[in-house]
Chains A and B, each alone.
Chain A
């Protein structure tokens, strides 16, 4: 009853997904504040080192449903297990990764349970609320905070009367933190056949081609990010050149990705990846809130922009006013001639 529950995704390599470990780290903190337990739900055919992986994040109960038919992920079987488990366990909070799987599953679960769900939260906090009309006081609500509406505002969403309070969070937004290396919880095996009916496997998977993550901008120490101001995919090449010689990765804003200047995996911001590199070079990036949400914790920020008033400049350590196509080659030139 009243616990914090995290739906854990299983990767192609049969490990627990990074985003789920990040959510468990956040879930542990929320559970501590609420003085409740942290539960994980894991649904798969097998998972490597399941208990060894999860307990150090402070997981009290692992609800493990293991069945040959449960990997790869399919909506209806996972939906059937998660909803039934939530009805039994009655958690007050349920968190999902804002991934291909989480964004497919969580809304269907919320719809069935007739509860609220907030997508792509950037902050989760516990707080209280007084209803204006009735003066009814609510304690210990989950504040689901996200940029909204073109990034001009930050909205705090609450779900006062329905449970669980549900939210999805993108990979990289929450920090992955070991809670206690020697923490021990308990494993609860869930028998698939009492949760899922044969007819729930109604979709036929014909083929799958899932690749291991190729571009890893989340882990990069240096990021050269291009925005819509780069104008074209061709102009992006100069950013790849700079990134290569300074051993960084190339990121992109949503506007640049939408305009097909870069791949979606490179997208930084609320609907992309959150990064915390030691150096962030923003090239032709205006700096919408959704983008800043994904990079403002970078240690050093350099903005190269033709517009002195670009919002990104106000969070930059250095602002270079001018044309990226002129400035970046100069940086490459200097670096080449002054390092080994």
Chain B
């Protein structure tokens, strides 16, 4: 029996290092101006998939990402860590997607992959923090969802038991397949790159990357495992009206830079005198004590 897991991964701008050119005039993110990283919780998701592969032999892990062509980097990174193959959905038509249009695109790609048992994704991406694409993709696939997964309690070819991390506790649930899981940051960190795999896959490329590097396509004929698939909107049978900005019901009406409401701030030093006076004032005005 073969078991197939699709891991959803996103290349995200590192929002911890945001510069001035981060936003475009239409209110969408200017990804080109920012360092791009593997979304942290998607790495937790990849690890969970790898743990299942450790238990269920003959598991195939396919990493699926959507974004500009350079998003192939997250597929390559996943190959180094143990994924079997990967696909980048890239098309101008998907630019500016909100979570609804994104989940539609992702779900169409998963349907094209077909025969999946599990879809595993990070709970949320650090550039939006919405945690919406996971549940929305599950709805579009009409499969159950298990959100905030922290640990696999038990897994076999028929069922999976997952420990979920909730606000005020934990819950263990069991599901049959297919099923979609979103993984919480408290789950196990992803294993490191494997040296042998790094050697094997460092030349893995998508067709667009080969073109940019002026490399020859015949490379894929000799070593088909080096091909990172690249799908356009028409490859996944997507209706144009449901893609990108057109397919996104939410619109950005306004972006405001944050203006701080200035207060008359009293500046104090760390001297004993300053601290004592402050504490005295707080106690006298009954804010303390």
> A residues touching B (Cβ–Cβ < 8 Å)?
72, 75-76, 79, 99-100, 103-108, 110-112, 114-120, 129, 143-144, 147-162, 202-213, 222, 246, 258, 265, 271, 278-279, 289, 296, 299-303, 308, 311, 313-323, 326-327, 330-331, 334-335, 338-339
Bound-complex Cα distance A152 to B27 (A): 13
15 A-B residue pairs with Cβ-Cβ distance under 8 Å, sorted by A, are: A76-B144, A99-B167, A100-B167, A118-B250, A129-B253, A202-B176, A204-B173, A206-B174, A208-B170, A314-B265, A315-B261, A321-B270, A322-B270, A330-B275, A334-B279
Surface stretch bound by A, among B95-103, B187-195, B205-213, B230-238: B95-103
Question: Max chain B CB contacts within 10 Å: which of A107, A209, A339?
Answer: A107
Bound-complex Cα distance A318 to B265 (A): 5
What would 16 more interface pairs be, CB under 8 Å, given A111-B137, A151-B258?
A: A103-B131, A103-B147, A104-B145, A107-B133, A114-B249, A115-B100, A147-B258, A149-B127, A153-B258, A157-B251, A203-B175, A204-B173, A207-B171, A212-B168, A319-B268, A330-B276
Q: Is B219 part of the contact surface with A, judged by Cβ < 8 Å?
A: no
CB pair B171–A205 under 8 Å, yes or no, is yes
A320-B278, A338-B280 are contacts. A157–B270 as well, Cβ < 8 Å?
no
Bound-complex Cα distance A303 to B270 (A): 12
CB pair A323–B288 under 8 Å, yes or no, is no
Q: Which residue of B lies closest to A311 (CB)?
A: B260
Bound-complex Cα distance A327 to B279 (A): 12
Give chain A nearest CB distance to B133 CB in angstroms: 8
CB pair B252–A339 under 8 Å, yes or no, is no
CB pair B268–A321 under 8 Å, yes or no, is yes
Bound-complex Cα distance A116 to B132 (A): 11
CB pair B257–A157 under 8 Å, yes or no, is no
CB pair A207–B172 under 8 Å, yes or no, is yes
Give chain A nearest CB distance to B36 CB in angstroms: 14
Partner of A315 from the list B263, B270, B280 (CB cut-off 8 Å) is B263
Bound-complex Cα distance A162 to B248 (A): 10
Bound-complex Cα distance A116 to B97 (A): 11
Bound-complex Cα distance A67 to B109 (A): 38
Query: Which residues B239-289 have CB closer than 8 A to chain A?
Result: 248-258, 260-263, 265-270, 272, 274-276, 278-280, 282-283, 287-289
Question: Max chain B CB contacts within 10 Å: which of A148, A258, A339?
Answer: A148
Give chain B nearest CB distance to A214 CB in angstroms: 8
CB pair A208–B169 under 8 Å, yes or no, is yes
A202-B176, A246-B288, A302-B278 are contacts. A157–B263 as well, Cβ < 8 Å?
no
